[in-house]
Structure 1
Amino acid sequence: MLFEDMNEPLPYLANLQSVADADALLAAHGADAGTEAAIRAERSRDLGNAVQFCHWRQIERLIVLLTSGDVVGTVH
Structure 2
Amino acid sequence: MRLYLSDRSSVDAAQELMTTFGDDAGFEAAARADKSRDLGNHVNFCRWRQIERLIVLMSQARAVGTVH
TM-score w.r.t. length of structure 1: 0.83
For residues 11 and 28 of structure 1, what CA distance do their matches in structure 2 show?
A: 23
Can you give the 5+ residue segments of structure 1 that lack an aligned partner in the other structure?
1-8
**Structure 2: stretches of 5+ with no match in the other structure:** none
What stretches of structure 1 move > 6 A for 4+ residues in a row? none
Of the two structures, which has the highest relative contact order with CA contacts closer than 8 Å and spacing of 6 or more?
1
Q: Give the structure 1 partner of residue 39 of structure 2.
A: 47
Provide the alpha-carbon RMSD of the alignment: 1.0
Work out the number of aligned pairs and report it: 68
Identical columns (%): 57
TM-score, normalised via structure 2 length: 0.92
Q: Which of 22, 25, 34 is equivalent to 2:17?
A: 25
